[in-house]
Structure 1
Amino acid sequence: MSEQMRTSTRDLDELRQRVRTWLTGRVGEKVEISELERPSGNGMSSETLFFTAAWAGNTTKCVVRMAPAAEAVPIFPAYDLGGQFEVMRLARERAGVPAPRALWFEADPGPLGMPFFVMEREDGLVPADVMPYTFEGWLLEATPEQARRLQDETVAVLAALHQAPITAADVPFLGPGGLRRHVEEQRAYYAWAHGRTRIPVLEKAFGWLADHWPEKTGDDVLTWGDARPGNVMYRDFAPVAVLDWEMAALGPRELDLGWMIFLHRFFQDVAVIMGLPGMPDFMRRDDVCAKYRDLTGYEPRNMDFYEMYAALRHGIIMARVWQRRIHFGEQPMPADPDEMVMHRAAIEEMLLRT
């Protein structure tokens, strides 16, 4: 967990010149930009770059997001940058969610080699993935009251998003929605990500889901997708920027709740394996669901199912990350494919639920 995974094959100096040329044409003024920087500690899918742009007496701190180059072995098969841009705009304008202010979307691949968008950069703190926030850092060092405030405020982001007047007609690029379609797309993703390599623990999880399918699901809402503290920037333990919308979808509210609860369990389990106390009282299911119910009046249900589904989805991603590291010579292919799923023990424990 201590190594920073390679996420790009692009040259920053060349990109800086291309960004400056593009932005000069976009704003109609001569633009100067700072050196480009790649963030550390979080992010492994879309490529993210920071820079500051100055023109006509204005200075704006910016973030550019673009899909990874094909030779970088992308995590996902497709990156709808225009869709992400629109979801951020709707979340900010209609839900009051502090998504970054969406500045520009460029559909033409010419300027940087592929479509990209630029958003405004906020200042704040983000709980790290590497090293995980359950190992060290400002969130681990927070008082119980501060950690609970951060938890409740993050759940409030979901509540606001899910209750916003955003319909399928507003986000047609996300498709018709529905839990069944969501799971079918994950099956397709698993097949794409791993080809002929079968990962038994993940296939067992797909079978478990089929055997425990909910009798009823709530109405579809716009879900964030990658709902977790590691994708939020905080000041004074309150969200100021809600990041990473590439997994947004239409579906049941529990998709986001199950993901948020399980992803903390993932980082907590890693801390315990390493002999660290972690944050055992953070993002507990009962607390998260109770806060969500208080804010929305909606009672989350079938949470065993949605947490298993979150574990499965995360397993597909983590196994893809392992294959990416194999490609870059960072680790070997394991003899047992299940070893590519860091949390296989958690999934195996969850498979015993009836």
Structure 2
Amino acid sequence: MTQEIRTSTRDLDELRDRTAAWLRVRVGDDAEVSGMSRPSGNGMSSETLFFTAAWAGRETRCVARLAPAREAVPMFPSYDLRAQFDLMRMAREKAGVPAPRALWYEPDPGPLGTPFLVMECVDGEVPPDVAPYTMGGWLHDASPGDRARLQDACVGIVAALHETAFSPGELTRLGAPGLRAHVETQRAYYAWAHGDLRLPLLERAFDWLVAHWPGATGPDVLNWGDARIGNIVFRDFTPVAVLDWEMAAVGPRELDLSWMIFMHRFFQDITVRMGLPGIPDFMQRDAVCQKYQELTGYEPRDMDFYEMYAALRHGVIMARLWRRRIHFGEQPMPDDPDDLVLHRAIIEELLTR
């Protein structure tokens, strides 16, 4: 987990020059781009670029999100950057969620070889994925009180988004609403991501969902989709930017809550298996759900089901990520395809419930 995960095959110098040429068309002939780089600690799907844009006597630090090149073995079959751009604006303006200020959306693949969006860069600290924040660093070393404050603030972001009313027209690009449609979309994603290779563990998990389907679900709301602390920029344990909206969907509130809880369990499990204590008192289900209920009045339900679903969804993603690493020669293909799921032990445990 300490190796850098490859997300791009594009050359940074070429991207800088092409971005500068594009920006001159947008804002004026004096525009310049400098300091282009990629993140190293987070991000698996879209390509992310940091750079400074200068024009008309001012400078703005920017972040660009690009759909990945086909030769980079994309994580997802499509990348609706227009929807992500609009969602960031709606979350910021309607829900008060601190999404970065969206600057430009470029649908034409000509300038950079793919559509992209540009937003303002927000300074702060992000809990890293590589190596996981559970192994050390500012959040690991924080006091229990500061970690609890950060946890409550993260739950508050999800609560604010869920409590905001959006019109059907604002959410039309996110597909059909509801839990059943969400699960069918995940089945289709599994088929796309691993169509030439069966993963029995994940197929058993899909069967488990059918056998344990909730009797009723709560109201459908806008879900952030990738609701986890690694997609938030913090200052003094306070969220200042909420990132990565590509998995947004309309469905039950528990989708976001279970994802946030499970994603910490995923990193905590890796850390414990390496003989380290991690952060065992963080993002626990009871505390997260209790805080959410305090903020919204809604009591989360069927969390065993949604935890399994979160583990399954992440299993499909992780297996795709590992196959990408195999493609680039960074990992060998395991004898057992279920070993492509890094957290197979968690899913196997959940299947016994």
TM-score, scaled to structure 2? 0.99
Identity %: 69
- 2:180 corresponds in structure 1 to 180
Pairs within 5 Å for 1:1-354:
1-353=1-353
**Contact 1:262/1:307 (<8 A) preserved:** yes
Paired letter, 1:248: A
Cα distance per residue 1:163-200 (max 9 Å; x no partner): 11213221211122111000001000001101121111
Paired letter, 1:317: I
CA distance in 2, matches of 1:221, 1:40: 33
CA distance in 2, matches of 1:119, 1:135: 30
Secondary structure at 1:134's aligned position in 2?
helix
CA distance in 2, matches of 1:331, 1:163: 43
Paired letter, 2:135: F
**Contact 2:222/2:249 (<8 A) preserved:** yes
Cα distance per residue 1:235-275 (max 9 Å; x no partner): 01010000000000001000000000001000000010000
CA distance in 1, matches of 2:104, 2:120: 10
Cα distance per residue 1:265-304 (max 9 Å; x no partner): 0000001000000010000000000000000000000000
Moved over 2 A (4+): none
CA distance in 2, matches of 1:23, 1:179: 41
Q: CA deviation at 1:29?
A: 4.3
Q: CA deviation at 1:138?
A: 0.4
Secondary structure at 1:345's aligned position in 2?
helix
Paired letter, 1:330: E
Secondary structure at 1:105's aligned position in 2?
strand
Secondary structure at 2:198's aligned position in 1?
coil
Paired letter, 2:143: T
**Contact 1:227/1:256 (<8 A) preserved:** yes
Paired letter, 1:136: G
Secondary structure at 1:250's aligned position in 2?
strand
| Structure 2 unaligned regions, length at least 5 | none
TM-score, scaled to structure 1? 0.99
Cα distance per residue 1:5-51 (max 9 Å; x no partner): 11110011111011001111111341111131001110010000000
**Contact 1:234/1:241 (<8 A) preserved:** yes
Secondary structure at 2:52's aligned position in 1?
strand
Q: CA deviation at 1:58?
A: 1.5
CA distance in 1, matches of 2:332, 2:323: 9
Secondary structure at 1:52's aligned position in 2?
strand
Cα distance per residue 1:67-92 (max 9 Å; x no partner): 11000000111000101101111000
CA distance in 2, matches of 1:180, 1:65: 30
Paired letter, 1:48: T
CA distance in 2, matches of 1:285, 1:331: 33
Q: CA deviation at 1:332?
A: 1.0
Secondary structure at 1:213's aligned position in 2?
coil
Q: CA deviation at 1:212?
A: 0.6
**Contact 1:42/1:130 (<8 A) preserved:** yes
CA distance in 2, matches of 1:107, 1:325: 29
Paired letter, 2:347: I
Cα distance per residue 1:192-214 (max 9 Å; x no partner): 10112111110110000000101
